[in-house]
Amino acid sequence: MSKILVTGGTGYIGSHTVVELQEAGYTPVIIDDLSNSNKGVLTQIEAITGTIPEFYEFDLCDEQKVVSFVENNPDITGLIHFAASKAVGESVEEPLKYYRNNFFSLINLLNAFKNRNINFVFSSSCTVYGQPTKLPVTESAPVQKAESPYGNTKQVAEEILSDTANAFKNYQIIALRYFNPVGAHKSAMIGELPIGVPQNLVPFITQTAIGKRAKITVFGDDYDTPDGSAVRDYIHVVDLAKAHVAAIKRMEEKKSKANYEVFNIGTGNGFSVLEIIKAFETSTGVKLNYEIGPRRAGDIEKVWGDVSKSASELGWKATLDLEEMMRSAWAWEVYLKEKNPFI
């Protein structure tokens, strides 16, 4: 079947998508600069699927290397673009890093492929909505002012993609606006592997539970939510990975209604930070040490998605529940402690 380029393919969402692509019969090719991942993930993918993916290590901000790669790989028909800096809090502190990494890499790829028929799936985010005025938020909701440089890069990237699709009809582009990915593969052999202090909630939970961290800080308990903590739509990373495969298939089968489309990818349910902590404790039997802290810059109060368009048009919906998200994340943390495959 088709050869699909996966940028950031050794990362958290990327590695799970590579597995789902392989299991669907595709041939994924990975580019990653390993700035926020580990090359050992390739061995883990091979252990799960029986096939080690083709891998190239370089920075997509290097235009000449991108051009050379595209010229030397004329059989690539699809591209899933994950590679980007992605932490909301860090983006507030280091905005220039985020604008460089997230824009240069995207523009270099679009330029390199602009003379080829290509199916392009972009890793977008619910952060494009800012703080929605109406929930659940639909794809037609107005884009609000971004609450962080990270969110702004996703908003502007979508504008770049829309303009590119308008100018170059050889592109078929789908932007997946996904909510908060959590959990790990059922094998417990791949999962979220943050370098340094985790920026996301669930790896901080699992690292606290296993003793790597002393406690979790809940950033704010004075939001206008049932328990005062921020609310998000959490989605299992395997469900999310399958959405990317569904997007590729939609474009291959010529089912797209336009050559630029957007879809929400979530469960359609909102859970607070404190509810996530309780769900982890209930599903694993492990108690957590947490404290309430001040709100974090760049965070919004509450968001969850209307995912009916993804169900009706993309033919995709989430199937794994919150307890499975927590159980699989914990199994991955335990696996890391026992096996240490990346050391």
Alpha-helical runs (H) found in the chain: 12-23, 41-49, 63-72, 88-93, 95-99, 105-112, 149-167, 201-210, 237-252, 273-284, 308-309, 322-339
Catalytic residue among 12, 129, 150, 234: 150
Handedness of CA 259, 102, 35, 262 (dihedral sign): negative
**Residue 169: half-sphere exposure toward Cβ, Cα within 13 Å:** 0
Length of the chain: 343
Using an 8 Å Cβ cutoff, are 60 and 86 in contact? no
Burial code of 131-148, b = ≥16 C-beta within 10 A, e = fewer? ebeebbbebebeebebbb
Report the interhelical angle of 12-23 vs 237-252 (nearest 10°).
50
DSSP 8-state code for residue 94: -
**How many CB atoms lie under 10 A from the CB of residue 290?**
16
Angle at 93 (CA atoms; ends 87, 95), nearest 5 degrees: 80
Token pair of 231 as six digits = 């609310």
The question of whether 129 is a catalytic residue gets the answer: no
Q: Is 17 left (phi over 0), alpha (psi -120 to 50) or beta?
A: alpha
Can you tell me the distance from the alpha carbon of 47 to that of 76, in angstroms, rounded to the nearest whole number?
Answer: 25
Burial code of 93-123, b = ≥16 C-beta within 10 A, e = fewer? eeeeebbebbbbbbbbbbebbeeeebbbbbb
Handedness of CA 177, 243, 265, 280 (dihedral sign): negative
Query: What's the gap between Cα 321 and its chain centre?
Result: 18
Q: Which residues carry out catalysis?
A: 150
